Amino acid sequence: MAASRYGTPSADLLMQERDRVTAALTAMQDGNRVVTGPEDNRAILPGSVDDFAEVYAGMPDATIVAGATDVALWVTKFLKLIGPAIFIGHLDRLKGIEVLDADVRIGAGVSYSEFGPVVAEHFPHLAEYWNRIAGWQVRNMGTIGGNIANGSPIGDTPPVLIAMGAEVVLRRGGAQRVLPLADYFIDYGKQDRAPGEFVAEIRVPLPKPGDMYAAYKISKRRDEDISSVAAGFAVTVEGGVITAARLAFGGMAATPKRAARTEEALIGQPWCEATFDAAADHMAQDFTPLTDWRATSDYRATAAANLLRRFFHEHSGETPVRLAVA
Ligand SMILES: Cc1cc2nc3c(=O)[nH]c(=O)nc-3n(C[C@H](O)[C@H](O)[C@H](O)COP(=O)(O)OP(=O)(O)OC[C@H]3O[C@@H](n4cnc5c(N)ncnc54)[C@H](O)[C@@H]3O)c2cc1C
């Protein structure tokens, strides 16, 4: 009550300024490229996705800035110069989401929050996991394309998308290619992305009825924390026998990676606890995780194996009863 005596929001100078600035910025959206700043430190705002493709093909050393939730930290924490920088957050055509019969096509510039409703409707097994990525503010800005492009071994989207058989669409100039997301990650800091090529789209197959899916994130805090271990699983069972399995992990290797040996140990086996116990023992052949400030190698190995057991118990309609301790 007392505060309201000092005026109304519409009389607030900052609110009035905001409307003026918003109008001025909107008027600038004429589809033309904007370039500002000195030569090495230029900020480039392409006029369209085609324009972005052209600029970046000609300036492959420029820094792409989407939501800036990673890039901004290079500046604020490491005082890194990121110029010339190509800003793409305003490009609406990178923000498209198309739900087709077989898959969902996600523009690289789609934020976690923008994708949230699609998760709820089409990928319900990801709903809880999705809300564990960063916090609200970062989910509003951070993009799925940025999470993939940065090639981090601890990014949260790659393991769950790889498990679902996602593909990434890369574009350089006018040329486009599609590759399985799993193949995009070659080694630590090395991705299958040519100079001047950018992430344009991610294609995620819709869940198949009857298949079983799960997404798990293990971190020290519930919110705003980087995963110690992240996992995405997709398993097909026909007539009581496991006929297909895709198990992908983050935080377990230099890249997000499928557990190939463990998958082999599941396929062709009956759906039962003994199968999962035996398969979990193969995980040591797939991964030799690192120890760092988030988790020890032993912790990661034990957690990953136990997530596989948890998957079995959850999908058997049981409460997990026994978890192995390293
Ligand atoms: C507080 C905080 C919490 C976080 N929590 C999590 C978390 O829980 N899980 C998680 O996985 N991450 C987390 N992150 C990291 C970050 O939010 C994500 O990686 C995010 O998805 C990055 O997207 P962005 O659009 O902000 O990328 P940017 O910062 O704009 O770019 C990231 C990198 O990708 C490149 N890039 C961006 N878009 C493209 C493109 N289309 N093509 C090619 N290259 C491109 C940039 O040049 C840069 O190298 C967190 C970050 C912060 C600050």
* Higher-confidence position of 31 and 133: 133
Per DSSP bridges, beta strands 212-218 and 198-205 are: unpaired
Average the pLDDT over 152-163 and give the result: 97
Per-residue pLDDT at 40: 85
Mean pLDDT of the chain: 93
For the stretch 11-35, pLDDT in tens is 888 888 888 888 877 877 788 999 9
Q: Is 163 in the pocket of ligand 1 (CB under 6 A)?
A: no
Q: Is 103 in the pocket of ligand 1 (CB under 6 A)?
A: no
Q: Going by C-beta distance under 8 Å and a sequence separation of 6 or more, which residues neighbour residue 185?
A: 151, 153, 158, 191, 192, 255, 256, 257
pLDDT higher than threshold 60 for residue 37: yes
Confidence class for position 318, pLDDT limits 50, 70, 90: low
Average the pLDDT over 97-109 and give the result: 98
pLDDT higher than threshold 50 for residue 325: no
Per-residue pLDDT at 289: 96
Contact, 192 vs 186, CB < 8 A? Answer: yes
Q: Is 145 in the pocket of ligand 1 (CB under 6 A)?
A: yes
Burial class of 316 by CB neighbour count within 10 A (0 to 12, 13 to 18, 19+): middle
**Least-confidence region, from 1-5, 114-118, 161-165, 246-250:** 1-5
The rounded Å distance from CA 76 to ligand 1 centre is 15
For the stretch 228-275, pLDDT in tens is 999 999 999 999 999 999 999 999 999 999 999 999 999 999 999 999
Closest CA to 302 of 267, 247, 254, 252: 252
Per-residue pLDDT at 1: 66
Rg (CA), the chain: 22
Q: Which domains, from first to last, does the chain contain?
A: 94-205 (3.30.465.10), 212-315 (3.30.390.50)
Q: Is 134 in the pocket of ligand 1 (CB under 6 A)?
A: yes
Q: Is 147 in the pocket of ligand 1 (CB under 6 A)?
A: yes
Average the pLDDT over 30-43 and give the result: 89
Q: Is 232 in the pocket of ligand 1 (CB under 6 A)?
A: no
Residue of 61, 69, 86 with the most ligand 1 atoms within 8 Å of its CB, for mutation: 69
Average the pLDDT over 183-194 and give the result: 97
Q: Tokens 């798990």 sit at which residue? A: 216
**Least-confidence region, from 46-55, 113-122, 125-134, 217-226:** 217-226
pLDDT higher than threshold 50 for residue 171: yes
For the stretch 268-290, pLDDT in tens is 999 999 999 999 999 999 999 99
Per-residue pLDDT at 88: 98
Q: Is 130 in the pocket of ligand 1 (CB under 6 A)?
A: no
Q: Is 121 strand, coil or helix?
A: helix
Per-residue pLDDT at 324: 44
Q: Is 158 in the pocket of ligand 1 (CB under 6 A)?
A: no
pLDDT higher than threshold 90 for residue 320: no
Per-residue pLDDT at 4: 72
What is the model's pTM?
0.92
Q: Give the span between the Cα atoms of 252 and 162, in whole angstroms.
A: 14
Per-residue pLDDT at 22: 85
pLDDT higher than threshold 70 for residue 117: yes
Q: Is 304 in the pocket of ligand 1 (CB under 6 A)?
A: no
Per-residue pLDDT at 322: 42
Q: Give the span between the Cα atoms of 253 and 115, in whole angstroms.
A: 27
Residue of 55, 64, 70 with the most ligand 1 atoms within 8 Å of its CB, for mutation: 70
The rounded Å distance from CA 314 to ligand 1 centre is 31
